[in-house]
Amino acid sequence: MELPPTLPPDAVLHPWNRGFEWSLPSGPTVQLSAETRDRFDTDGFAVLPDVVSPPLLNRLVEDLDALQAEVDEALSRRPDGRILISERGAITFAVHPVLRSDAARELARHPVLVGLAADLLGPDVNFYWDQAVYKQPERPRRFPWHQDSGYAFVEPQHYLTCWVALTDATVDNGCPWVLPGGHRAGTLLHRWVDPLGLECFETATGSFPAEVPAGGAVVFSSLTPHFTGPNTTESVRKAYIAQYAPVGVKILSGDPGAGEPTGKAGAEDPDRQFPVLRGGERV
């Protein structure tokens, strides 16, 4: 497969990515205009400046601050201040807030986000993954270029990430940067960069800083390459990640360098991977 010209020369297809063809659902849109969906088809992302109301946003931040405080406490007990890619003073992750936060569960079924899932995934969709990501100012560093699908190879390869800004996200505090068109190749091979995480390429030209105010969202395919820059301000940049996947999505396991996948599992945890759309209707 010929890679899109927007991808840098060190980008390589994932070995399990064979015969991929990018496509979006056809037909009338629910949330996006037809023009915006066409742009998403081409670019792989959209910026929506006003999604979450202030009351819900305030409740969500209160809940996520409490969860992140628990993560920070756990990190403080580690000699290196790290657990996987969470690092005290740099970037911290609180996974699955929907299991503990009423506000997160409400946002998971938010009509705007579910409408986006209908427009960009189809009529039958489950909530897939969620996490809070707080970029700390004490150790300013980038988070590498990656695809969300790079952390777990899935079939079908495209699911949806809604990156919700809990505080204003700017270039100075580490907003997302996206690479338009990079999603159309499917999943890329990623490599581990210590202590930052997985990386699909080191640098890219033509990337776009997706600045977004608090309550807005950057919406992109799990295949859209993106990174976040360092937080060079004195305040924490806060974001909540809500992801949606088509019903029946499978997570492949194994060593891509050693051959074919050795396992395949569904994403069917009823407590956190619950239905949000069936037959095009909100659940």
The number of folded domains in the chain is 1
Q: CA–CA separation, 213 vs 234, rounded Å?
A: 17
Q: Where in the sequence is the domain holding 257, given as residue range(s)?
A: 34-272
Residue-wise pLDDT for 9-59, tens only, equals: 999 999 999 999 999 999 899 999 999 999 999 999 999 999 999 999 999
The pLDDT of residue 2 is 64
CA 38 to chain centre: 20
Question: Which CATH number characterizes residue 123's domain?
Answer: 2.60.120.620
Question: Considering the domain boundaries, does residue 184 fall inside one?
Answer: yes
Dig out the tokens for 213 from the structure.
């105010």
Q: Which helix (H) or strand (E) holds 105?
A: helix 102-108
Residue-wise pLDDT for 88-101, tens only, equals: 988 999 999 999 99
Q: Is the pLDDT of residue 257 over 70?
A: yes
Question: Considering the domain boundaries, does residue 279 fall inside one?
Answer: no
CA 250 to chain centre: 17
- What beta strand segments (E) does 136-187 contain? 143-146, 154-155, 160-165, 176-178
Question: Considering the domain boundaries, does residue 13 fall inside one?
Answer: no
The pLDDT of residue 1 is 63
